[in-house]
Amino acid sequence: MGRFEDKVAVVTGAGAGIGKACALAIAREGGRVVVADIDGSAAIACTAQIASKADRALASATDIADVHAVAALFETAERHFGGVDLLVNNASAMHLTPRDRAILDLDLAVWDQTLATNLRGTLLCCRQAIPRMIARGGGAIVNMSSCQGLSGDTAQTSYAASKAAMNMLSASLATQYGHAQIRCNAVAPGLIMTDRLLAKLDECTQRH
């Protein structure tokens, strides 16, 4: 028996990088996984890598900043797998310089889009997951924050602010729903050279 046997997980941003690694690990431990990503083809590719057992994984092309898309994601998880026990909020928007810069030079459209995905999107997913977890006797939520949410920097103001806010959202959620046997933790990794980050760095290099 794996640690996630008979459990259902929703992992956002699971088409690549940390999210994909989480989805694959949960599946290896016996869980059923809804692989959500704004890039539908990446979600399908991740799903194809998950266990050969039938009905073990499901792909969903989802923009987590869209309230209706998030509702549909969790309705699909409940319809196909019966509910939700685990949520990994990994989907994230990151704009490298020169767009996400110091405060006076910051593109406000970048600020709005970053917070819409990283903070609003996380909130929307939690709001859909919590009632379903309560119905199943509890659950666990992991919010993928960042070390950039713990200290200041000369750039990436929007990203850092969104991750700092995610930390407090996680603490609030744990305080408000711990009595319902729902755990919530924020994880703050450092820089990880995922394929998507490397592509962004290449793009910035080409511009300059």
Separation CA 158–CA 155 (nearest Å): 9
The answer to the question of residue 141 being in a domain is: yes
User: Is 42 among the domain residues?
Assistant: yes
- 3-state SS, 136-191, equals CCCEEEEEECCHHHCCCCCCCHHHHHHHHHHHHHHHHHHHHHHHHCEEEEEECCCC
What's the CA gap between 130 and 139, in Å, rounded?
8
Give the separation between CA 47 and CA 16, rounded to whole angstroms: 11
Q: What is the mean pLDDT of residues 29-54?
A: 91
pLDDT of 20 over the 90 cut: yes
Residue 95 pLDDT grade (very low, low, confident, very high; cuts 50, 70, 90): confident
pLDDT of 135 over the 60 cut: yes
Q: Are 35 and 60 a contacting pair, CB within 8 Å? A: yes
Per-residue pLDDT tens digits for 144-155 = 999 999 998 899
Asked if residue 2 belongs to a domain, the reply is no
Whether 182 shows a pLDDT value over 60: the answer reads: yes
**Stretch 21-41: mean pLDDT:** 96
| Mean local confidence (pLDDT), 137-148 | 97
What are the structure tokens assigned to 162, written together?
Answer: 């969104």
Percentage of residues in the chain with pLDDT exceeding 70?
89
The segment with the largest mean pLDDT, out of 47-51, 111-115, 190-194, is: 111-115
* 3 inside domain: no
Confirm whether 193 is domain-assigned: yes
User: Per-residue pLDDT averaged across 146-169, rounded?
Assistant: 94
Per the structure, how many domains does the chain have? 1
Q: Annotated catalytic residue: which of 141, 159, 161, 166?
A: 159
Inside any domain, residue 194 = yes
Q: What is the CATH number of the domain that holds 38?
A: 3.40.50.720
- pLDDT for 191 equals 74
Residue 141 has pLDDT above 80, yes or no: yes
Residue 23: Cβ-neighbour burial (10 angstroms; 0-12, 13-18, 19+)? buried
What's the pLDDT at 54? 58
**Catalytic site residue 177?**
no
Mean per-residue pLDDT over the chain, rounded:
91
96 compared with 46, residue with greater pLDDT: 46
Phi/psi of residue 192, nearest 5 degrees: -125, 125
pLDDT score of 202 more than 60: no
In a domain, 33, yes or no: yes
Domain span at residue 20 reads: 8-207
